[in-house]
Protein backbone atom coordinates (compact mmCIF):
# COMPACT_ATOMS: atom_id res chain seq x y z
CA UNK A 1 0.00 0.00 0.00
CA UNK A 2 2.98 2.32 0.49
CA UNK A 3 4.39 2.23 -3.04
CA UNK A 4 1.23 3.58 -4.78
CA UNK A 5 1.12 6.48 -2.31
CA UNK A 6 4.79 7.24 -2.92
CA UNK A 7 4.18 7.12 -6.67
CA UNK A 8 1.30 9.57 -6.30
CA UNK A 9 3.49 11.83 -4.13
CA UNK A 10 6.24 11.68 -6.72
CA UNK A 11 3.77 12.55 -9.49
CA UNK A 12 2.51 15.62 -7.65
CA UNK A 13 6.00 16.75 -6.64
CA UNK A 14 7.53 16.35 -10.09
CA UNK A 15 4.74 16.97 -12.59
CA UNK A 16 2.22 19.22 -10.86
CA UNK A 17 4.39 21.28 -8.50
CA UNK A 18 7.70 20.87 -10.37
CA UNK A 19 9.58 21.01 -7.08
CA UNK A 20 12.96 19.30 -7.38
CA UNK A 21 13.56 19.15 -3.61
CA UNK A 22 10.25 17.42 -2.87
CA UNK A 23 10.78 15.14 -5.86
CA UNK A 24 14.15 13.98 -4.51
CA UNK A 25 12.69 13.54 -1.02
CA UNK A 26 9.92 11.37 -2.47
CA UNK A 27 12.41 9.30 -4.45
CA UNK A 28 14.51 8.75 -1.30
CA UNK A 29 11.40 7.61 0.58
CA UNK A 30 10.62 5.26 -2.30
CA UNK A 31 14.16 3.82 -2.17
CA UNK A 32 13.83 3.26 1.57
CA UNK A 33 10.46 1.55 1.12
CA UNK A 34 11.84 -0.67 -1.64
CA UNK A 35 14.77 -1.75 0.52
CA UNK A 36 12.42 -2.46 3.44
CA UNK A 37 10.45 -4.72 1.09
CA UNK A 38 13.72 -6.42 0.00
CA UNK A 39 13.31 -5.19 -3.58
CA UNK A 40 16.97 -4.32 -3.90
CA UNK A 41 17.19 -4.33 -7.70
CA UNK A 42 14.37 -1.77 -7.99
CA UNK A 43 15.86 0.33 -5.19
CA UNK A 44 19.27 0.29 -6.86
CA UNK A 45 17.68 1.29 -10.18
CA UNK A 46 15.93 4.24 -8.52
CA UNK A 47 19.18 5.18 -6.80
CA UNK A 48 21.03 5.18 -10.11
CA UNK A 49 18.36 7.35 -11.72
CA UNK A 50 18.54 9.73 -8.78
CA UNK A 51 22.33 9.93 -8.76
CA UNK A 52 22.37 10.63 -12.51
CA UNK A 53 19.79 13.40 -12.05
CA UNK A 54 17.23 11.77 -14.31
CA UNK A 55 13.52 12.49 -13.93
CA UNK A 56 14.16 15.45 -11.63
CA UNK A 57 12.15 18.47 -12.74
CA UNK A 58 13.79 21.78 -13.40
CA UNK A 59 11.99 24.83 -12.14
CA UNK A 60 10.75 27.21 -14.78
CA UNK A 61 12.13 30.71 -14.75
CA UNK A 62 10.32 32.37 -11.88
CA UNK A 63 9.53 36.03 -11.62
CA UNK A 64 9.95 38.59 -14.33
CA UNK A 65 12.86 40.18 -16.07
CA UNK A 66 13.09 43.88 -15.17
CA UNK A 67 14.66 44.65 -18.56
CA UNK A 68 11.59 43.49 -20.50
CA UNK A 69 8.21 45.23 -20.55
CA UNK A 70 5.39 43.47 -18.71
CA UNK A 71 2.91 44.11 -21.53
CA UNK A 72 3.64 43.52 -25.20
CA UNK A 73 3.39 46.44 -27.56
CA UNK A 74 -0.37 46.56 -28.16
CA UNK A 75 -0.24 49.38 -30.74
CA UNK A 76 0.71 46.90 -33.47
CA UNK A 77 -2.37 44.77 -32.84
CA UNK A 78 -4.90 47.54 -33.57
User: How far is residue 61 from each of residues 1, 18, 65, measured CA to CA in Å?
Assistant: 36, 12, 10
Say if residue 34 is exposed, middle or buried (CB neighbours under 10 Å; 0-12, 13-18, 19+): buried
Task: State the average pLDDT over residues 3-19.
Answer: 92
Say what the pLDDT of residue 29 is: 96
User: How is residue 8 annotated by DSSP?
Assistant: H
More confident: 51 or 61? 51
Return d(Cα 14, Cα 21) in angstroms, integer: 9
Residue 38 has a pLDDT of: 96
Confidence at residue 57, expressed as pLDDT on a 0 to 100 scale: 86
Tell me what the mean pLDDT of segment 62-69 comes to: 63
For residue 33, pLDDT over 90 is answered with yes
Amino acid sequence: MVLPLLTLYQYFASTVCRDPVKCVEGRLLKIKALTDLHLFAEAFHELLLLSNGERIPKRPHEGFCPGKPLVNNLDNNF
